[in-house]
Amino acid sequence: MGNGVREGPVEFQRDVEPVTARIPAEDNQEKKKVLNSLMSGALAGAVAKTAVAPLDRTKIMFQVSSKRFSAKEAYRLIYRTYLNEGFWSLWRGNSATMVRVIPYAAIQFCAHEEYKQILGNYYGFQGKALTPFPRFIAGSLAGTTAAMVTYPLDMVRARMAVTPKEMYSSIVHVFIRISREEGLKTLYRGFTPTILGVIPYAGLSFFTYETLKKVHAEHSGKAQPSPPERLLFGACAGLIGQSASYPLDVVRRRMQTAGVLGHTYSSILLTMQEIVREEGLVRGLYKGLSMNWVKGPIAVGISFTTFDLTQILLRKLQHGPGPQR
């Protein structure tokens, strides 16, 4: 009896000490993981968007006008812009894009990793790939979170893309003029179609990419795809995601740029009706989609690949070679 009393506290101390010692280490690991996701996402967004900026600007200019889109007309517009405004004008608005896309991509990729973990714990998939529905939900929630935080920057970027450089001298100037001339509410014009578009776009993009990686691992026997395979999987993800949400992207751009192009769009449905009435269903709501089929897969492929490879590199630098994502 006496021996039992003396031994009890000793055993208790041995059990508790490792737990209390592990808590700071676990917190530190979680912070590193979040920081790595933010850094990798920011780099992924910056590299991808800069690579396709001229095509992106051209697409927006067609989306917000009543001109009929064709590959020939797109080429002519790019060439005329180059002749009249110079080579670097093809990247006009890219500084605003970077101001938006760096925090957007950082938040989106980081949020996706966190939502995957939360949903994995909820559905009991700790350490394993999520099933299809949670995989889609994680992507949709990540895209929605990023869009809500960074939306005014997207509005500014759209305005700079469709206006001459004399109209807005800088990103700050766009904010000041919109606030003074059109009101602060204008900074969130087009927000609803953006969120409605982000849900299928981000959901399907992340779902497709994660699914292709999972299928590849099951059939190839390799734990991780090669960089070219990652690019291909990302391209497929971008193609599917952007095709599903494209009409809402057109509506969003029309509502964002209405103030400088002499239009008034009061709601999503009225904007859609006006576009269809004036330009037709396919030629209006899907204007520029063929360019998106070139631009989108390239951008999304580069983005997912850059994120994954940067994550792997950062983990190797911090911990040495280990299991890869």
* Model confidence pLDDT, tens digit, residues 161-199: 777 777 887 888 888 888 888 888 888 888 888 899 999
Six-digit token pair at 258?
Answer: 């209405």
Can you tell me the distance from the alpha carbon of 23 to that of 36, in angstroms, rounded to the nearest whole number?
A: 20
Task: Give the pLDDT score at 28.
Answer: 81
Task: Give the pLDDT score at 48.
Answer: 93
**Overall pTM > 0.85:** no
For residue 65, the SS3 value is: coil
Q: Which segments of the chain have a pLDDT < 70?
A: 1-26, 125-127, 259-264, 266, 320-325
Rg of the chain (C-alpha set): 24
Task: Name all domains of the chain by residue range, CATH numbers in brackets.
Answer: 66-187 (1.50.40.10), 189-311 (1.50.40.10)
Q: What is the 3-state secondary structure of 164-232? A: CCCCCCCHHHHHHHHHHHCCHHHHHCCHHHHHHHHHHHHHHHHHHHHHHHHHHHHHHCCCCCCHHHHHH
